[in-house]
Amino acid sequence: MPQNNEIEVLLENNRRWVTEVTREDPDFFARTASQQAPKYLWIGCSDSRVIPNQITGLPPGQLLVHRNIANVVMETDPNCMSVIDFAVRILEVRHIIVCGHYGCAGVHTAMSGTTMDPLNEWLDGIRTLWGHHEEDLLEDGTQAAQDRMTELNVGKQMLSLCRTPSVEDAWLNRKSLRVHGWIYGLKDGVLQNLYPDIGSISERTRAESESPSF
């Protein structure tokens, strides 16, 4: 199929979707355009198989989304930090969900060794995490190691999020904000809560003391 036709398919899909939505709910676009007041920020992987609104059953306007390779929270990344700050300070979300997924190619790439920049630099923290746990995790085989590393990465990014100035300030000002660490199964579509929620600096400190070398 010529490339122009491939793109035209997307535009035609959009027109069909608009027609279907307005037929079922004539006020849909007027309603969603009038405000954005989500309770949740989702920080997840860019993987095309993980669609946050779809797997949580939330309509547009209720879930603010930030996605990148391997759901990394990095304080030197202005994109991620800006989204977090906007969500916490401006939108005043009540929950931030860090969600990984089994079969994450980003995590697997970090485990396999170095690659070319900028991806190599982006995955450096996960690669370091793998170095801390490689020997123990490989005792159960490669697949189990990959799954466990994906889970450990969620914990690492969850704690990184809890150390950001935006989140710390919210807690210092006694705002209701909880951080969650989830994982999604591509094979069954199920979301699982991996770690206890964190909603204060003292809870973060306890999680850090109990974490397996994040």
Any bridge partners for residue 97, and if so which?
A: 42, 180
126 near 106, Cβ under 8 Å? yes
Angle ∠(193,198,199) on CA atoms, nearest 5: 135
Indicate if 49 belongs to the active site: yes
123 near 109, Cβ under 8 Å? yes
Catalytic position from the list 16, 49, 163, 206: 49
CB neighbour class for 113 (10 Å; exposed up to 12, middle 13-18, buried from 19)? exposed
Catalytic position from the list 80, 95, 99, 101: 101
Angle ∠(101,7,3) on CA atoms, nearest 5: 105
Catalytic position from the list 66, 104, 162, 204: 104
The CA-atom distances, in angstroms, between 102 and each of 53, 94, 138, 139 are 18, 26, 17, 19
Residue 123 is encoded by which pair of tokens?
């995955």
Catalytic position from the list 45, 80, 99, 162: 45
Indicate if 180 belongs to the active site: no
Indicate if 45 belongs to the active site: yes
Where would I find the beta strands (DSSP E) of the chain? 40-45, 63-68, 95-101, 178-184, 191-198
Q: Which residues are catalytic?
A: 45, 47, 49, 101, 104
